[in-house]
Structure 1
């Protein structure tokens, strides 16, 4: 092996030119592929072809993985061609045999990497999630920023970027598929008029469903489901409805805002934690 490596030092100008051509060709080919994919995703044809967000995000995910996979393939192919130029067939066979032995040794330590790649393939073909989806994997919740065959990158609500090996992905909760549920539990004191509370909550739900800023996100009307629990000082009334994926969060916030405003106007009390302090004088 050492003798073969020593013979690599005197490289003829002809071989050097061939190696340079391979390196330049590999770089240009990689850049060309990346440029074509990037330009395609920005084109009007791409935007018109995929008017729906879901298939567009899935195609974008596959394009990202294709770019990375092609880059790896080009690098490996270039290295093989360079060694083929530098070495005689017998010498190349010897190096490949030695590399095979080393590969077997490293293989035992690379089992987790293989597991990650295999699981990554299943994640992609089963369409479990794509770039842009809002998901929860284990204890980490956020938006998918990048996917490779080995790692999934998630950005959480605080801005932290988490890298999760695909082999560690066991259970995925995808919040970006088909629809989301608006669920709000509102406490109403027992001495309040429940009918008035029901009417107020249904009125707010109707207003949001007709609001220009939210009506396109509503799938089924937001309405009162009923009393779901008896609290210590109030009855818990649940409000719910179906909305487009990921739109439950802004609609929840808007519903709470309007509830506080209208409850004050109608003199409807909303319970809140109270603490009584008793001062005892001696």
Structure 2
């Protein structure tokens, strides 16, 4: 399967709505353990995208050395606008890297992944390796979209499975099992010995503009489809026309905008500290 191309400008068009789950996530992260050598905490953002969330990590932990990793050169080009020394004495940098194979140069106080794990099949199998890269008392925190049964995602799956598109778009990551139930994440993390805090939130978002749900989807879940149809502009527009029509029926605009409920699943897991 061809990896989707990413457009940072389009993704950031809904930056306020996309950032809110991240700010809610890091608000629940407890104090990080102090490094024995007194050095700055090491914070890693796996699947950092355009870097706007990574910058918030440096605001929350001003002295930290924060590194963002992503597989998309397009996203990293935008993210590097946030790179460099931070006002609190820390620094931010970015590197091309795949969270499936990521290995740190040194143990970390905090590993974060924001709206990225649903792109990785069997991502819960990575938790064991990641927690082994945490210092005692370190934290793994992530949030993932849990909207795969919503009309926006269900209609996308149904359209890609119609006779016209089934062969052309086979294997694209539009599956409904991309994210596990919250209780499964709780079980996986506690089985690793972590103290886990797992919860769900549905955001009642109000989107504005023409076909705002389509615009939202073009920044994320629709990217693999658009990439697969890049070489056939007429087919691409035909697909978008059908999908647009379905979304208009499913999400009618209201007086002040288009209501777009979006469920998210969160987890904050703390590794046990060394025994005294």
TM-score > 0.5, shorter chain as reference: no
TM-score (norm 2): 0.25
Q: Which has the higher helix share?
A: 1
TM-score (norm 1): 0.24
Q: Which has the larger radius of gyration?
A: 1
Q: Which has the higher strand share?
A: 2
